[in-house]
Amino acid sequence: MAVSATVAVAGAGLAGLSAAWELSGAGATVVVLDAGRRSGGVVVTELRDGFVVEAGPDGFLAAEPDIQELAREAGIGGRLVDQLTSGSSLWTGRRMEPLAEGQAAALLGIQGVTQSAMDCGFRSFATGMADLVEALVARVGPAIRPAQGVTGLAPATRGWRLSLGGGSTLEAEAVILALPAWVAARLVAAAGVPAARRLDDVIYYPTTTVSLAYRGDQLATPLAGTGFVSAGEWAGVVRACSYSWLKYPGRAPPGHALLRAFVGPLDDGPAAAAHAELASILGIKGLPLWSRAFTWPRGLPRYKPGHAGHVAAVRERLARLPPLAIAGAGFDGAGVSACVKSGRAAARQVMERLGRA
Ligand SMILES: Cc1cc2nc3c(=O)[nH]c(=O)nc-3n(C[C@H](O)[C@H](O)[C@H](O)COP(=O)(O)OP(=O)(O)OC[C@H]3O[C@@H](n4cnc5c(N)ncnc54)[C@H](O)[C@@H]3O)c2cc1C
């Protein structure tokens, strides 16, 4: 059975939720379709025994306004928290050496971070990044349809017809694809923009984050700073490690420590491998109280040269079709604040095209 909606947003990650927030604020009828069962995309926060465990992003640059403006609009401006400590180190395989601010991001291949933005430090939310997702879902939640992946997109008499997993369809006057680049590339190409296949050039690197909880007295030497990076010839299993409980307030109960390691692809046992390596680097005694690993087969996106030009060319073609916009980390920057900005901009653009701005 086909039902109609004014604007369909595909993807309930931060970009899609931000678009839906903007659209519902502008009075549009919105339907948010996500292939998964929960909202937030790669934003996943788990609360366990008084610890705050982040599976995906754990913060954002304090210099980035968009995510903070949205948080304030959503009524959780008071939940923004500042980074408690600064400075990171390079593990040379023998000892820790201090890194200049910004060097850690460069070593990890994080794109688009300027030195002046790094100088302003980082922020997060009191009980983790999911605070923002929850605040957005509180308003747009009724519009969200989980486990409804978009499998096809075709022009309809008035707007677009979306094919959904399970064989149903949905018609919408406008569509925002806030999807990973490889998914959006296929849908947009099939909808009549062959050039969109190039959007699939975005490389999503696999990564696993392992959070490990310890008693404070298990750490032989006191740690300082936000963590360390282990790159190049010294890289072992652990590529980088955040001292999460030193970085942001409230990440571990008093007298406890929470580490978060980024590890590369491993056949099995990322938590045991991360603990063994961290125990040797940081002098940790005994086993962790518990550990939690999350694997992202396609994690942080990285753009190839020419990316911005491809995205602009696709957007130019989309302007000739019924209102259809692309948004999110695959196109406009991988950071959470860039995703918020991208989602809201897409929403404003389709409202303008619908003559409702
Ligand atoms: C491990 C990790 C750590 C990170 N750390 C940071 C950090 O500290 N700071 C920072 O700023 N950024 C960080 N990032 C990057 C940032 O979190 C992401 O780039 C951003 O959250 C992506 O948001 P998005 O909405 O564009 O995409 P996603 O969160 O990927 O959302 C896309 C949504 O689309 C859905 N979907 C997929 N296919 C379909 C389909 N066919 N139909 C419908 N729905 C579909 C998915 O289920 C998902 O919910 C990190 C990312 C990772 C993976």
Alpha helix stretches (DSSP H) within 161-206:
181-190
Lowest model confidence (mean pLDDT) among 101-105, 140-144, 150-154, 349-353 = 101-105
Cα dist from 150 to 9, 193, 317, 351, whole Å:
10, 17, 21, 21
Tell whether the model's pLDDT for residue 1 goes beyond 60: no
Residue 210 has φ and ψ, to the nearest 5°, of -120, 115
Task: For residues 310 and 140, give the distance between their C-alpha atoms in angstroms, rounded to a whole number.
Answer: 31
Q: Whose CA is nearest to atom 44 of ligand 1?
A: 34
Instruction: Please report whether residue 69 resides in a domain.
Output: yes
What is the per-residue pLDDT across 331-348, written as a single tens digit (0 to 9) for each?
Answer: 999 999 999 999 999 999
For the chain, the average pLDDT equals 93
Q: Which H or E element spans position 40?
A: none
Ligand 1 pocket check: which of 22, 202, 336 to mutate, most ligand atoms within 8 Å of Cβ? Answer: 336
Q: What is the Å distance from ligand 1's center to 42 Cα? A: 4
Residues belonging to the chain: 357
Q: How much is the pLDDT for 265?
A: 77
Residues 159, 190, single domain; the answer is: yes
Atom of ligand 1 nearest to the CA of 18: 25
Residues 101, 61, single domain; the answer is: yes
The torsion angle over the Cα atoms of residues 99, 101, 103 and 108, rounded to 10 degrees, is 110
Residue reference for tokens 């190839």: 304
CATH number (domain holding residue 191)? 3.50.50.60
Burial class (CB in 10 A: 0-12, 13-18, 19+), 97: exposed
Tell whether the model's pLDDT for residue 15 goes beyond 90: yes
pLDDT mean over 293-313: 95
Q: What is the Å distance from ligand 1's center to 14 Cα? A: 7
Q: How much is the pLDDT for 268?
A: 78
Tell whether the model's pLDDT for residue 112 goes beyond 80: no
Q: What is the Å distance from ligand 1's center to 57 Cα? A: 9
Instruction: Please report whether residue 330 resides in a domain.
Output: yes
Residues 282, 315, single domain; the answer is: no
Most confident range (mean pLDDT) of 85-94, 95-104, 174-183 is 174-183
Q: Whose CA is nearest to atom 1 of ligand 1?
A: 56
Query: What is the domain range of residue 112?
Result: 51-129+204-296
Q: How much is the pLDDT for 266?
A: 80
Residues 213, 281, single domain; the answer is: yes
Ligand 1 pocket check: which of 179, 188, 209, 247 to mutate, most ligand atoms within 8 Å of Cβ? Answer: 179
Residues 16, 123, single domain; the answer is: no
Task: For residues 238 and 221, give the distance between their C-alpha atoms in angstroms, rounded to a whole number.
Answer: 19
Task: For residues 228 and 90, give the distance between their C-alpha atoms in angstroms, rounded to a whole number.
Answer: 5
Q: What is the Å distance from ligand 1's center to 12 Cα? A: 9
Q: How much is the pLDDT for 111?
A: 67
Per-residue confidence band for 354, with pLDDT thresholds at 50, 70 and 90: very high
Task: For residues 306 and 94, give the distance between their C-alpha atoms in angstroms, rounded to a whole number.
Answer: 39
Q: Which H or E element spans position 237?
A: none
What is the per-residue pLDDT across 235-291, written as a single tens digit (0 to 9) for each?
Answer: 789 999 999 999 999 999 999 999 999 998 787 799 999 999 999 999 999 999 999
Q: Is the dihedral of CA 50, 52, 139, 76 positive or negative?
A: positive
Q: At what angle do helices 65-73 and 336-353 cross, to 10 degrees?
A: 70
Q: What is the Å distance from ligand 1's center to 330 Cα? A: 9
What is the per-residue pLDDT across 47-94, written as a single tens digit (0 to 9) for each?
Answer: 999 999 999 999 999 999 999 999 999 999 999 999 999 899 999 888
Instruction: Please report whether residue 91 resides in a domain.
Output: yes
Residues 191, 272, single domain; the answer is: no
Cα 178 to chain centroid distance, Å, stands at 12
Per-residue confidence band for 5, with pLDDT thresholds at 50, 70 and 90: low
Residue 276 has φ and ψ, to the nearest 5°, of -60, -45
Alpha helix stretches (DSSP H) within the chain:
14-25, 65-73, 103-107, 115-119, 130-140, 181-190, 244-247, 270-282, 307-318, 329-332, 336-353
Q: What is the DSSP letter of 120?
A: T
State percent of the chain over pLDDT 70: 97
End-to-end CA distance of the chain: 30
Task: For residues 56 and 45, give the distance between their C-alpha atoms in angstroms, rounded to a whole number.
Answer: 8
Number of domains in the chain: 2
Lowest model confidence (mean pLDDT) among 37-51, 108-122, 152-166 = 108-122
Instruction: Please report whether residue 28 resides in a domain.
Output: yes
Q: Whose CA is nearest to atom 14 of ligand 1?
A: 57
Residues 346, 332, single domain; the answer is: yes
Instruction: Please report whether residue 46 resides in a domain.
Output: no
Per-residue confidence band for 115, with pLDDT thresholds at 50, 70 and 90: low
Residues 36, 77, single domain; the answer is: no
Please state, as a whole number, how many other Cβ atoms lie within 10 Å of the Cβ of residue 37.
7
CATH number (domain holding residue 60)? 3.90.660.20
Q: Which two tokens stand for residue 78?
A: 């008071």
Helix (H, G, I), strand (E, B) or coil at 176: strand
Tell whether the model's pLDDT for residue 101 goes beyond 50: yes
Tell whether the model's pLDDT for residue 3 goes beyond 60: no
The answer to whether 288 touches 49, Cβ cutoff 8 Å, is no
Q: What is the Å distance from ligand 1's center to 180 Cα? A: 7
Lowest model confidence (mean pLDDT) among 65-69, 113-117, 291-295 = 113-117
- The more confidently predicted of residues 58 and 113 is 58
Q: Which residues line ligand 1 (CB under 6 A)?
A: 10-16, 33-36, 41-43, 56-60, 149-150, 178-180, 183, 207, 209, 296, 299-300, 328-329, 334-336, 339
Residues 336, 229, single domain; the answer is: no
Ligand 1 pocket check: which of 31, 34, 42, 183 to mutate, most ligand atoms within 8 Å of Cβ? Answer: 42
Q: How much is the pLDDT for 175?
A: 98
What is the per-residue pLDDT across 124-136, written as a single tens digit (0 to 9) for each?
Answer: 999 999 999 999 9
Residues 116, 57, single domain; the answer is: yes
